[in-house]
Amino acid sequence: MRKPIIAGNWKMNKLILEAVELAREIKNRTGSVANKEIVLCPPFTALSSVKEVLEDSPIKLGAQNMHWEVRGAYTGEVSPMMLKDVGCTYVILGHSERRQYFGETNSIVKKKVRTAFSTGLVPIVCVGETLPEREKGETLRVLEEQVKTGLSELTREEGKGLVVAYEPVWAIGTGKTATPDQAEEAQRFIRKLLGQMFGGESAQAIRILYGGSINPDNISALMSCEDVDGGLVGGASLNVESFVKIVNY
């Protein structure tokens, strides 16, 4: 019922020509994939060129961040309107690297999520616990706070259109993936919270992705979990071979 999403988060990698080449190869090699939604999230500077490559393909474009205001005196920031303008459908919000290195809090995430919806962008809202939090048994509490605050300003109808990504911080870029049981436990819990906030029907429609060291060898086991509806792929999305294998898990 929920169409899986495989999203590539290219982070701060790829110059324009490299991005165009990667996008073109991915397009050529995933052209016949109809049962999954593929999303590419290049850096801001490559959005426009990658959009041109994807023009005649079902692959969607996403950004990795945005400001919470649509315009104004915010030197160096990129607005959601600008992302719409360049052809983005999705925007990753609250990624743990933004939280960790750029001071993004749950209340900043909340403002961004609110604006994404008002602008017509679909947010991929990232949540996840750090290793010390997991070791102290605080995983579910942390997730609850991130979900309840970050998504608190959405209506039930908007909630339905949301995408959430569970990304345990200790699994990002470390080669340590959550086990399918760990992913399922967290993601089932997130869906339960979404049900409390937006109603059961909406919660059943919301795609919850897993992210954190996904590779071609672990994607199938993760995707076999009931509440895992796709993947947010970092490192392995920078290489056409591994990304295409993940798409075709």
Q: Measured between alpha carbons, how far is 90 from 83 in angstroms, rounded to an integer?
A: 9
Query: What angle (nearest 5°) sits at the alpha carbon of residue 148, between those of residues 147 and 154?
Result: 95
Determine which residue in the list 53, 116, 154, 233 makes contact with ligand PGA, applying CB under 6 A.
233
AA letter at 217: D
Determine which residue in the list 26, 143, 183, 214 makes contact with ligand PGA, applying CB under 6 A.
214
The question of whether 167 is a catalytic residue gets the answer: yes
Is residue 43 a contact point for ligand PGA (CB under 6 A)? Answer: no
Determine which residue in the list 90, 234, 243, 247 makes contact with ligand PGA, applying CB under 6 A.
234
Q: 116 or 171, CB closer to ligand PGA?
A: 171
In the complex, least distance from residue 171 CB atom to ligand PGA, rounded to whole angstroms? 6
Q: What is the dihedral of CA 148, 165, 90, 78, to 10 degrees?
A: 70
Here's the x/- map for ligand PGA, 117-156, by CB under 6 A: it reads as ----------------------------------------
Is residue 172 a contact point for ligand PGA (CB under 6 A)? Answer: yes
The question of whether 77 is a catalytic residue gets the answer: no
Q: Measured between alpha carbons, how far is 133 from 139 in angstroms, rounded to an integer?
A: 6
Determine which residue in the list 211, 218, 229, 247 makes contact with ligand PGA, applying CB under 6 A.
211
**For residues 141 and 183, is the Cβ–Cβ distance under 8 A?**
no
Nearest to 229 by CA among 215, 219, 239: 219
Residue position matching structure tokens 């672990």: 218
Helix extents (H) in 31-105: 44-54, 80-86, 96-101
Choose the catalytic residue: 95, 129, 133, 158. Answer: 95
The residues annotated as belonging to the active site are 95, 167
For ligand PGA, the binding residues (CB under 6 A) are: 9, 167, 172-173, 211-214, 232-236
